[in-house]
Amino acid sequence: MTNELDILVLDGDGIGPEITRATLDVLEAASSRYCLPLRFTMEAVGLPAFEREGSTLPERIVAQAQAADGILLAPVDTASYPPREEGGVNPSGTLRRKLDLFANIRPARTRPGVPPPCGKPFDCVIFRENTEGFYADRNMAVGSGEFMPTPDLALSVRKISRDGCLRIARVAFAHAATRPAQHVTAVHKANVLKLGDGLFLASCREVAAQYPQIRYDEVIVDAMAALLIRDPGAFDTIVTTNMFGDILSDQASELSGSLGLAASLNAGDAHAMAQAQHGSAPDIAGRGIANPASLIGSAAMLLDWLGARHAIPALRRAATAIEKAIDDAVVAPGTRTRDMGGEAGTDAFARAVIAGLEQVDPSGAPAPAISACSRPRT
């Protein structure tokens, strides 16, 4: 492995720097153990970047992201940003749009030793369309998708395109074809949003016809919210539009044990960005108690994506090992963070994950010896 892969690390706001440091510790341990060809470059976005450069996402960082092999983005506190015209750019939404990261992939599963609030085990993954929908910062070529004709009237535009629907459906069905359940559920509100969600369903049905071996069904979004609570195990691969996917994935992750465990990957044809599913939690920032599992798990998803894209099996093995190490770390109450009823802090949880990496390789073979393959942060 002579060609290094450049990972741009953006440490965000609030608890972002803390969980980013913990995640990099895990990635560097995995890089040493599996001799991964990774180089990490650190940059600031969010409020720290605004204070230094007058923008929460300077253009030079967008260019770095476009040139990078992968991006790791910590949570950002967009609610505290100034208006966009004054430099308050949403790093997450902007990078998703600029890099055409159309698929937001959010797995939600129960873990051994962690009693789920729903009381039932399940393992599902939600494919959320990521570049359209009601999100006002990414559905217009120029300007915002929200506007106010008068001070007492606000209008929001939802963008739904056939191409956008087809490509999220394609990646969802392709993923479902690799899972034992072979089951895709399209979530919609076509009974009310007849044109937009009608177009979404037509696109899903078109792709479903190309996968006759996969069981396909459709559920209205409000019913889906109830059914996820009643029996989340009834679902496997879920595909839906932007806002519905955002809400349902948080619900599914909380049902699995904690939003702090919820990994997330934003992927397109040429780029991918790992991102914790939760927010920046400014109320606990700086206290060292945040759960870093979401960002660590998201980084593992990025490694798996890079391994598949560049045909580097070691990256995929490392991703699997990190996931297993997270499972092991949350089993014991002594290494759980407070959101899961434990007392461990951010760094202690990361150390537990690293300790798990040093045990047994997921294949069952002895774990590789520590080597001098780690890549420095720049």
Over residues 150-192, the pLDDT tens digits come to 999 999 999 999 999 999 999 999 999 999 999 999 999 999 9
> Which has the closest alpha carbon to 263: 293, 243, 233?
293
Q: Which residues are catalytic?
A: 135, 189, 222, 246, 250
Banded pLDDT at 257 (limits 50, 70, 90): confident
- Segment 207-230, tens digit of pLDDT: 999 999 999 999 999 999 999 999
What is the phi-psi region of residue 195: left when phi exceeds 0, alpha when psi lies from -120 to 50, beta otherwise? alpha
Share of the chain above pLDDT 90, in %: 81
Residue 83 above 70 pLDDT?
A: yes
Q: What is the pLDDT of residue 140?
A: 80
- Per-residue model confidence (pLDDT) at position 376: 52
Burial string for 65-76 (b: 16+ CB within 10 Å, else e) reads: beebbbbbbbbb
* 60-64, 239-243, 326-330: segment of lowest average pLDDT: 326-330
Of 21, 64, 3, which Cα lies nearest the Cα of 290?
21
**pLDDT(296) > 90:** yes
pLDDT at position 220 is: 98
Mean pLDDT for 345-374 is 72
For the chain, what is the mean pLDDT? 92
Question: Is residue 241 a contact partner of residue 160, using CB atoms and an 8 Å limit?
Answer: yes
Q: Which residues pair with 72 in a beta bridge?
A: 9, 274
* pLDDT exceeds cutoff 90 at 138: no
Please check the confidence at residue 325 and state whether its pLDDT lies above 50. yes
CA 331 – CA 184 distance, rounded (Å): 30
Q: Which pLDDT score is estimated for 245?
A: 97
pLDDT in tens, 42-51: 999 999 999 9
Contact 130, 103 (CB under 8 A): yes
pLDDT of residue 370: 44
pLDDT of amino acid 369: 47
pLDDT at 349 over 70: yes
What pLDDT is stored for residue 361 in this prediction?
62
Q: What is the pLDDT of residue 336?
A: 87
User: Is the predicted pLDDT of residue 117 greater than 60, yes or no?
Assistant: yes
CB 240 within 8 A of CB 248: yes
| Per-residue pLDDT at 187 | 98
189: Cβ contacts below 8 Å, ≥ 6 apart: 197, 220, 221, 222, 244
358 touches 371 (CB < 8 A)? no
pLDDT at res. 190: 97
Query: What is the average per-residue pLDDT within 288-296?
Result: 95
Domains by residue range for the chain, with CATH: 1-114+257-378 (3.40.718.10)
**Beta strand 237-240 pairing with 265-267:** unpaired
